[in-house]
A and B are shown apart, each in its own frame.
Chain A
Amino acid sequence: MRRVVVTGLGLVTPLGAEVETAWKNIIASKSGAGTITRFDATDFQSNYACEVKPADHEYGFDAGKRVDHKIQRQVDPFIVYGIDAAGQAIEDAGLVDMTEEQRLRAGCSIGSGIGGLPGIESESLVLAEKGPKRVSPHFVHGRLINLISGQVSIKYGLMGPNHAVVTACSTGAHSIGDAARMIAMDDADVMLAGGAESTICPIGIAGFGQARALSTGFRDEPWRASRPWDQGRDGFVMGEGAGIVVLEEYEHAKARGAKIYAEVVGYGLSGDAYHVTAPHPEGSGAFRSMQMAMKKSGLALSDIDYINAHGTSTPLGDELELGAVRRLFGDAIGGLSMSSTKSAIGHLLGGAGAVESIFCILAMRDGIVPPTLNLDDPSENCAGVDLVPHTAKERKVKAVLNNSFGFGGTNASLVMKAVD
């Protein structure tokens, strides 16, 4: 099989709209949470989230940097975030100006969990209030999940595979895993892969609130709300943004002298076959997903230095994931660090797996693992595991595992390692 490496990174997050800023803020234990500003959420189940900040904010997002004014008006924010993050990644990889021959072998695998929910909501209201002739002609293609891949392929002339995963909160990890396989299988040499999400809108907050998935008890102190493995956790905090990487065939990257961040060595996928929203009570799907990824990687369990957990801060999920890690890793669990960056930027749903894979890569680059914020009072089952509470920690990081689990019982795990 052909080897697959990461040669470019792009991030839009609630803690920064480019890679180094977001990472610096994550390592500094900042929180991106706050009271929702997009709409008045006072009467909603939860009134806080981790929003991407406006352009005039210290670490805000300027859509105008990489997205045409016209496109900004026509498409949902998740597509705008995706186009920008893809642009960052392809610029970082030095692949903006590829030859036609290269572009025929370059593609996109950029998905989303839900897609253009804010626009579906607002245009539905237009339809109800003003009738069908007032619905935007850009409504459909401004909301479709595969339209990040579509827009990015048009912008950069990428004529290889054009794919978009939709697996709820596993989307970002599946997108990278699937794209890596396309390169390994010789369908492409270069793939832009990742995910994006933006559902901080009335129907999004109401819907997840009604599903009893959101944290609701921290209205006065939203930055304390996302607290994976802490006994006081009460649900996830919604985030938004995008994470996109450039994946490249190893020899292709080497031949052009590209900067190589990491190698994607393992990918695992499984289904819980249990319940639409609740995780399997023994964490068996999570276990099999990690097991498959580890087996494919050829690494020993003791080689893994860091796990970026799914760790959403929900009462059930966090401990089940930790239990599955404990069963798989056995004694090797004592040698690794595991944290959840959702404690800082919230849950980016379809973007999460990709954003967190990037944090894993940066942990390897810098020899530092990001913290789990608000882990004041760990659940009893957490004993003997380094969950990196409160502050980042310097340590050797040569191989990493990233987990993502989604509604429908869909699980994905990625293993990456540093390339010497």
Chain B
Amino acid sequence: MSETADRVKKIVVEHLGVEAEKVTEDASFIDDLGADSLDIVELVMAFEEEFGVEIPDDAAEKITTVKDAITYIDENQG
């Protein structure tokens, strides 16, 4: 597992209060991890802080799974 993946999963566990085992790469924030739309806004903010990337609203809307987040960060990290 990549370092990005580890850090993303840690943030998800902390913010959503879910068990680490449930945070698989295929997990959907809303369908599998119990998040609502505002939780995703908060998660995106946390990713931006942690990785120093900017995630614009239109990109954030496409981040629906853990893998989406990892991919976006890996591709856009400066």
Residues of B within 8 A of A133 (CB): 45
Quick check: is A24 within 8 A (CB to CB) of the other chain? no
- Which of A67-75, A103-111, A320-328 contacts its partner? A67-75
Q: How far is the CA of A133 from the CA of B39 in the complex (A)?
A: 15
**Would A68 and B17 count as touching, CB distance under 8 A?**
yes
Residues of B within 8 A of A68 (CB): 17
Q: How far is the CA of A68 from the CA of B42 in the complex (A)?
A: 17
- Per the 8 Å Cβ criterion, residues 253-280 of A in contact with B are none
Residues of A within 8 A of B17 (CB): 68-70, 72-73
- Per the 8 Å Cβ criterion, residues 36-70 of A in contact with B are 68-70
Quick check: is A138 within 8 A (CB to CB) of the other chain? yes
**Would B15 and A137 count as touching, CB distance under 8 A?**
no
* Chain A binding surface SS class: helix
Residues of A within 8 A of B42 (CB): 74, 136-138
Q: How far is the CA of A341 from the CA of B70 in the complex (A)?
A: 54
**Would B15 and A70 count as touching, CB distance under 8 A?**
yes
Q: B34-62: contact bitstring with A at CB < 8 Å (1 yes, 0 no)?
A: 10001101100100010000000000000
Quick check: is B63 within 8 A (CB to CB) of the other chain? no
**Would A134 and B45 count as touching, CB distance under 8 A?**
yes
Q: Which residue of B lies closest to A68 (CB)?
A: B17
Residues of A within 8 A of B5 (CB): none
Q: Which residue of B lies closest to A71 (CB)?
A: B17
**Would A137 and B38 count as touching, CB distance under 8 A?**
yes
Q: How far is the CA of A138 from the CA of B39 in the complex (A)?
A: 8
* Chain B binding surface SS class: helix
Q: How far is the CA of A240 from the CA of B24 in the complex (A)?
A: 40
Quick check: is B16 within 8 A (CB to CB) of the other chain? yes
- Nearest-neighbour CB distance to chain A for B15, whole angstroms, equals 7
**Would B45 and A70 count as touching, CB distance under 8 A?**
no
- Nearest-neighbour CB distance to chain B for A44, whole angstroms, equals 30
Q: How far is the CA of A74 from the CA of B42 in the complex (A)?
A: 10
**Would B16 and A137 count as touching, CB distance under 8 A?**
no
- Nearest-neighbour CB distance to chain B for A311, whole angstroms, equals 41
**Would A73 and B45 count as touching, CB distance under 8 A?**
no
- Nearest-neighbour CB distance to chain A for B63, whole angstroms, equals 15
Residues of B within 8 A of A136 (CB): 42, 45
Q: Which residue of A lies closest to B38 (CB)?
A: A137
- Nearest-neighbour CB distance to chain A for B61, whole angstroms, equals 14
Residues of A within 8 A of B34 (CB): 70
Q: A69-111: contact bitstring with B at CB < 8 Å (1 yes, 0 no)?
A: 1101110000000000000000000000000000000000000
Q: How far is the CA of A134 from the CA of B16 in the complex (A)?
A: 18
Q: How far is the CA of A137 from the CA of B45 in the complex (A)?
A: 9
Q: How far is the CA of A250 from the CA of B34 in the complex (A)?
A: 40
Residues of A within 8 A of B14 (CB): 73
- Nearest-neighbour CB distance to chain B for A75, whole angstroms, equals 12
- Per the 8 Å Cβ criterion, residues 214-243 of A in contact with B are none
Residues of A within 8 A of B15 (CB): 70, 73
Q: Which residue of A lies closest to B54 (CB)?
A: A133
Residues of A within 8 A of B45 (CB): 133-134, 136-137
Q: A115-158: contact bitstring with B at CB < 8 Å (1 yes, 0 no)?
A: 00000000000000000011011100000000000000000000
Residues of B within 8 A of A73 (CB): 14-15, 17
Q: Which residue of A lies closest to B17 (CB)?
A: A69
Q: Which residue of A lies closest to B39 (CB)?
A: A70
Q: Which residue of B lies closest to A133 (CB)?
A: B45
**Would B38 and A138 count as touching, CB distance under 8 A?**
yes
Q: B1-31: contact bitstring with A at CB < 8 Å (1 yes, 0 no)?
A: 0000000000000111100000000000000
Q: How far is the CA of A68 from the CA of B34 in the complex (A)?
A: 12
Q: Which residue of A lies closest to B45 (CB)?
A: A134
Q: How far is the CA of A74 from the CA of B15 in the complex (A)?
A: 9
- Nearest-neighbour CB distance to chain A for B9, whole angstroms, equals 16
Q: How far is the CA of A134 from the CA of B49 in the complex (A)?
A: 9
Residues of A within 8 A of B41 (CB): 137
11 cross-chain CB contacts under 8 A: A68-B17, A69-B17, A73-B14, A133-B45, A134-B49, A136-B45, A137-B38, A137-B41, A137-B45, A138-B38, A138-B42
A interface residues (Cβ-Cβ under 8 A, vs B): 68-70, 72-74, 133-134, 136-138
Given A70-B15, A70-B39, 13 more pairs with CB closer than 8 A: A69-B17, A70-B16, A70-B17, A73-B14, A74-B42, A133-B45, A134-B45, A136-B42, A136-B45, A137-B41, A137-B42, A137-B45, A138-B42
